[in-house]
Amino acid sequence: MLPSKLQPFVRNRVADILERTGSCTWNHVPTDENPADLISRCVEPKVILTSQLWWSGPDFFRYSSSEWPQTSESVEKLPEIKPEVSLLVAAEVPNNFIDFSRFSNFLRLKRSVAYVLRFIAACKKQPIKTNHLNNDELKNASNLLVKLCQIDSFPEFKLLLDGKSIPKKSPLLKFNVFLDDNQLMRVGGRLENSHFPYEKKHPLLLQSTHIFTKLLFAFEHKKLMHAAPQLLLATVRETFWPIGGRNLAKLCYRQCVLCNRLKGKNFNPIMGNLPKQRLTPSYPFETVGVDYAGPISAANRLGRGCRMTKVYIAIFICFTTKAIHVELVGDLTSKNFLSALRRFISRRGKPKIIFSDNGTSFVGAYNEIDKFLKGNCSLLSEDAANEGITFNFTPPYTPHFGGLWEAGVKSIKYHLVRVLGNCNLTYEELNTVLVQIEALLNSRPLTPLSSDPNDLLPLTPGHFLIGRSLTTLPTENYEDCSTSHLTRYQRIEQLRQHFWTRWSKEFIAELQQRVKWRTKDSDLKIDSLVVLKDDNLPPMKWKLGRIVEVYPGPDGVNRVADIKTANGIVRRAFSKICPLLEEESSR
């Protein structure tokens, strides 16, 4: 008996005895004939001296071992034996010897099966082949794979194999399936009298959910140079008839990494809410957005021999009134931008917040302003040093984050192109034209015009700057009228409040609608594999990355993310991010 069948205490002792005694053979000795019992029972020495058992051992030692007495007790019923529970489990052994889940390439799967069949043929004492696989071997491997796929997918296969008919509720009934000479299920169809080949008239039946069918579609998709779903399905149906093949063709096209990179479908979250700076009455240009336009060619002087130089337009737009201020600058350096900002502040007042994109001029200007405020606080008044100017930068490559000033740039370009044409203006002439365009844009109505002649004049940004549109004629001089200064001040204050009342009722109501990006798409998540869209590069050169962090806006919608690329971590808006592989659960 093995020690492992005994209780732990007895098992350990028996194992220790067997280890110490080595290869000795153990047998049973009855108690009455065991000399060792004399010592264990404390027998007196005089008894041992006269004991025949002690000196000669049991009487049966005188005979051969075959005549020794045998014990009548069963060793299988000892109390030291631990109980055993026997459990019989019936395990179903799969018939398939090919594990489809171990393969990710259709051609490798077919060639592997072909080599397995060659090995089986060699084991059957058939002529051994050592050259490359031929067409017949690959054809036999393909037939075997199709047969295994049909056995896994269709319970009707066994019925046809046994010569039985398909049940009336079976979805295969409409295909009129039958078994060919190779015991493969084919579509009966209605094309028997056509001139098509046999494989097209009676294609092999496949299930689109099987791994073999998915590998086949992926192989054909690459073989057809990444064909679209319609061409892919038509090509597969030349030999096979996949049930649900149209959906599988679309799925294969959507999951192709190369096709996803070339499509470049970016992600557009729902349009965000307007910032509070655009909805709160304030002084003109208290919160502004700034951007550059250009370059534009300007002559250094009139006449022949003039030299043309490039100049740029700095555009400041008020968040509240949409009033525009234009400054002409010589280049895109931070120094020139600071000069333009000083001119703007001198005429419009110091803004509290400046919004801009991530242009190098604006970022450099912010660094210089910050350095100036920190190093020259003693030269500034206490209020200016404490308040300062706050810069807010939009994420890189996101012009839609600054749609307000981008629209101003578009409007200025619209008039400038039509005015200049092919003319070469000097710096002073160009500055004059830009200021006139500024006056025109500040006279645009903020709300749609009414066809009723009794309605008030349309509200324009100029009403908040000078009390009227900048292009209207001046009114009659009432300076000599006998009105007290208090009454005059109250009248001006009444007009100012009237403008803001109309602004709140007419202009703000026009901002309620979302003109685009009206629906919420499925959100991009951390660890999602994406492609960074770059308008200056072809899609195949767009960078691959993985999202490591997302940043929600004030409304809780994620619109900006940090992406880890091969060159480091970059920050992009969702509009410049293309999901590489779409989640099937969202479809």
CATH number at residue 412: 3.30.420.10
Predicted confidence at residue 300, as pLDDT, reads: 74
Predicted confidence at residue 236, as pLDDT, reads: 93
Instruction: Flag whether pLDDT at 477 surpasses 70.
Output: no
CA distance 126 to 144: 19
- The values of phi and psi at residue 339, to 5°, are -65, -45
Question: What's the rounded mean pLDDT across residues 473-479?
Answer: 47
Query: By the 8 A CB rule, do 302 and 264 touch?
Result: no
What type of residue is 559? Answer: R
Measured between alpha carbons, how far is residue 272 from residues 219, 221, 269, 291, 358 in Å? 43, 40, 8, 21, 20
In a domain, 482, yes or no: no
Q: Are 114 and 14 part of one and the same domain? A: no
Predicted confidence at residue 478, as pLDDT, reads: 45
CA distance 78 to 84: 13
Instruction: Flag whether pLDDT at 211 surpasses 90.
Output: yes
Q: Is 194 helix (H, G, I), strand (E, B) or coil?
A: coil
Predicted confidence at residue 222, as pLDDT, reads: 92
Instruction: Flag whether pLDDT at 108 surpasses 90.
Output: yes
Q: Are 329 and 412 part of one and the same domain? A: yes
Q: Are 71 and 109 part of one and the same domain? A: no
**Local confidence band at 34 (pLDDT 50, 70, 90 cut-offs):** confident
Question: What's the rounded mean pLDDT across residues 288-302?
Answer: 80
**Local confidence band at 144 (pLDDT 50, 70, 90 cut-offs):** very high
Question: What's the rounded mean pLDDT across residues 466-481?
Answer: 56
* Dihedral angle sign, alpha carbons of residues 84, 86, 87, 91: positive
Looking at residue 547, which CATH number applies to its domain? 2.30.30.140
Q: Are 318 and 246 part of one and the same domain? A: no
Among residues 282, 291, 411, the alpha carbon closest in space to that of 348 is found at 282
Share of the chain above pLDDT 90, in %: 12
CA distance 95 to 149: 12
Q: Are 293 and 416 part of one and the same domain? A: yes
Q: Note the pLDDT tens digit of each residue in 420-460.
A: 766 777 888 888 888 888 887 787 777 665 555 555 567 77
In a domain, 452, yes or no: no
Predicted confidence at residue 54, as pLDDT, reads: 77
Which is it for strands 529-532 and 543-552: parallel, antiparallel or unpaired?
antiparallel
Q: Are 242 and 390 part of one and the same domain? A: no
In a domain, 540, yes or no: yes
Considering 26-30, 41-45, 187-191, 223-227, the range whose residues carry the highest mean pLDDT is 223-227
Predicted confidence at residue 381, as pLDDT, reads: 35
Question: What's the rounded mean pLDDT across residues 309-325?
Answer: 86
Of 341 and 400, the structure prediction assigns the larger pLDDT to 341
Q: Are 107 and 185 part of one and the same domain? A: yes
Work out how many domains the chain is built from and give that number. 4
Q: Are 147 and 22 part of one and the same domain? A: no
Q: Are 316 and 373 part of one and the same domain? A: yes
Predicted confidence at residue 239, as pLDDT, reads: 92
Helices (H), 104-178: 106-123, 135-153, 156-161
Q: Which of 388, 418, 441 is the last residue of a domain?
A: 441
Considering 70-84, 285-299, 446-460, 463-477, the range whose residues carry the highest mean pLDDT is 285-299
Residues in the chain: 587
What residues does 325 pair with on adjacent strands? 316
In 249-307, DSSP assigns E strands to: 287-299
Q: Which of 395, 425, 441 is the last residue of a domain?
A: 441
Average pLDDT over the chain reads: 76
In a domain, 345, yes or no: yes
In a domain, 505, yes or no: no
Predicted confidence at residue 570, as pLDDT, reads: 87
**Local confidence band at 230 (pLDDT 50, 70, 90 cut-offs):** very high
Predicted confidence at residue 586, as pLDDT, reads: 42
Q: Note the pLDDT tens digit of each residue in 162-198.
A: 888 888 888 888 888 889 888 899 988 888 888 888 8
Question: What's the rounded mean pLDDT across residues 13-39?
Answer: 78
Predicted confidence at residue 490, as pLDDT, reads: 52
Q: Which of 423, 441, 459 is the last residue of a domain?
A: 441
CA distance 265 to 368: 39
Q: Are 52 and 142 part of one and the same domain? A: no
In a domain, 271, yes or no: no
Q: Tokens 């998709």: give the residue.
A: 221
Question: What's the rounded mean pLDDT across residues 190-209?
Answer: 88
Instruction: Flag whether pLDDT at 118 surpasses 60.
Output: yes
Q: Are 247 and 305 part of one and the same domain? A: no
Q: Which domain holds residue 68?
A: 3-77
In a domain, 346, yes or no: yes
| pTM strictly above 0.75 | no
**Residue 225 CB contacts under 8 Å (≥ 6 apart), including other chains:** none
**Local confidence band at 72 (pLDDT 50, 70, 90 cut-offs):** low
Predicted confidence at residue 331, as pLDDT, reads: 82
Q: Are 70 and 105 part of one and the same domain? A: no
In a domain, 86, yes or no: no
